[in-house]
């Protein structure tokens, strides 16, 4: 079953909930970056969180989650946006130290919190109109799900429950997914408390995904037989926003003289996208053309 995101509302409980299966997405990211098992768990969780945060995106809006920690994982970044006229969720992720690895903890779980360490979580939401919104909070545990819930409660004042899971081993990704539940305006004060108790009693996200890789199965595992009003269901897939035009724009920042020096010293310019690994090469003639455009723009 392909990866998918499902958003719904439990009207009687005053809860909005989204669930997503990201097994194929995390597999793709792991393969592109040759991630260690621990980093697969860390970046897989963050990318799954980005997809959940993007459940309400519209048009060309985009959400970016970036963790800057002092642990061996270093910086990790994940983004999501809409593709195909809003019919598909695209996502990508990047890890500065893709091979960082730590032993599993005493429960046999990935030591993601130790790999991330202390630091900050930055959430950037880019809208179709106006300036991006940027929120920054200190990391609480480095386990990512708890940090995302802390961000929502403290930066956006939305009490939330976040559950994320990635099951990986040296051979690949077995299961990945997540759930985000939020109290709607006007919801009873104890609405989220009841859901939180159910979340604590629920089996792990990866166990549920292995059992039945559907977003609806995750929702039902959390909410039981509560009546749900589904309002959005979309497939999820890996995608990258890099383009040759963006590389040219970045190179134009060198200025005309800098571009000509680059041509003289190296003959060509090469750039590799840190998210997807795509390699771009610009010939000397192309560098000259960019330099001329830069000069014309200044004249």
pLDDT bin (cut points 50, 70, 90) of residue 193 is confident
pLDDT at 281 over 90: yes
Mark 194-205 as b/e (b = at least 16 C-beta within 10 Å): ebeebbeebeeb
CA-to-CA distance for 63 and 67, rounded, in angstroms? 14
pLDDT tens-place string over residues 176-189:
999 999 988 877 77
Give the C-alpha distances (Å, rounded to integers) separating 60 from 115, 125, 172, 239: 33, 11, 32, 14
pLDDT of residue 67: 98
Give the chain's mean pLDDT. Answer: 92
Asked if 178 and 16 touch (Cβ cutoff 8 Å), the reply is: no
DSSP 198-228: HHHHSPPHHHHHHH---HHHHHHHHHTT---
**Alpha helices in 134-283, H assignment, sequence order:** 145-155, 191-201, 205-211, 215-223, 244-252, 255-266
- Rounded to an integer, what distance in angstroms lies between the CA atom of residue 119 and that of residue 206? 27
Q: For the whole model, what pTM was predicted? A: 0.93
Structure-token pair, residue 112: 């993601």
d(CA 65, CA 47): 8
| CA–CA separation, 193 and 205 (whole Å) | 19
Q: Is the pLDDT of residue 123 over 90?
A: yes
- Rounded mean pLDDT of 206-223? 94
pLDDT higher than 80, residue 42:
yes
pLDDT band with cut points at 50, 70 and 90 for residue 273: very high
Please write the tens of the pLDDT for every residue from 7-36: 998 877 788 999 999 999 999 999 999 999
Tell whether the model's pLDDT for residue 195 goes beyond 90.
no
User: Domains, the chain, ranges and CATH?
Assistant: 4-238 (3.55.30.10), 244-298 (3.90.1280.10)
Report the DSSP pairing between strands 62-69 and 172-183: unpaired
Backbone angles phi, psi at 168, to 5 degrees: -135, 160
Residue 198 has pLDDT above 90, yes or no: no
Under the banding of pLDDT at 50, 70 and 90, the label for residue 197 is confident
pLDDT in tens, 80-108: 999 998 899 999 999 999 999 999 888 88
Non-local (6+) Cβ contacts of 108 within 8 A are none
């Amino acid at each position: 079953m392909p990866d998918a995101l499902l958003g719904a509302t439990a009207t009687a409980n005053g809860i909005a909930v989204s669930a997503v299966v990201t097994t194929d997405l995390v597999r793709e990211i792991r393969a592109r970056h040759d991630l260690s098992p621990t980093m697969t768990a860390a970046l897989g969780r963050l990318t799954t969180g980005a997809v959940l945060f993007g459940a309400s995106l519209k048009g060309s809006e985009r959400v970016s989650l970036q963790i800057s920690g002092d642990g061996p994982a270093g910086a990790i970044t994940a983004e999501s946006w809409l593709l195909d006229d809003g019919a598909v969720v695209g996502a990508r992720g990047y890890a500065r130290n893709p091979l960082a690895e730590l032993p599993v903890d005493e429960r046999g779980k990935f030591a993601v919190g130790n790999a991330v360490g202390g630091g900050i979580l930055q959430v950037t939401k880019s809208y179709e109109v106006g300036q991006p919104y940027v929120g920054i909070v200190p990391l609480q545990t480095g386990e990512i799900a708890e940090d995302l819930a802390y961000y929502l409660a403290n930066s956006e004042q939305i009490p939330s429950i976040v559950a994320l899971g990635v099951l990986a081993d040296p051979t690949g990704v077995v299961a990945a997914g997540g759930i985000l539940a939020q109290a709607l305006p006007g919801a009873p004060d104890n609405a989220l408390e009841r859901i939180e108790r159910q979340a604590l009693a629920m089996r792990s996200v990866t166990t549920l995904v292995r059992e039945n890789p559907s977003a609806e199965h995750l929702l039902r595992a959390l909410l039981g037989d509560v009546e749900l009003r589904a309002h959005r269901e979309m497939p999820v897939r890996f995608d990258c926003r890099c383009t040759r035009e963006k590389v040219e724009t970045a190179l134009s920042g060198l200025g005309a003289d800098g571009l000509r020096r680059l041509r003289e010293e190296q003959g060509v310019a090469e750039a590799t996208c840190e998210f997807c690994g795509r390699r771009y090469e610009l010939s000397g003639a192309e560098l000259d053309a960019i330099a001329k455009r830069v000069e014309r723009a200044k004249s």
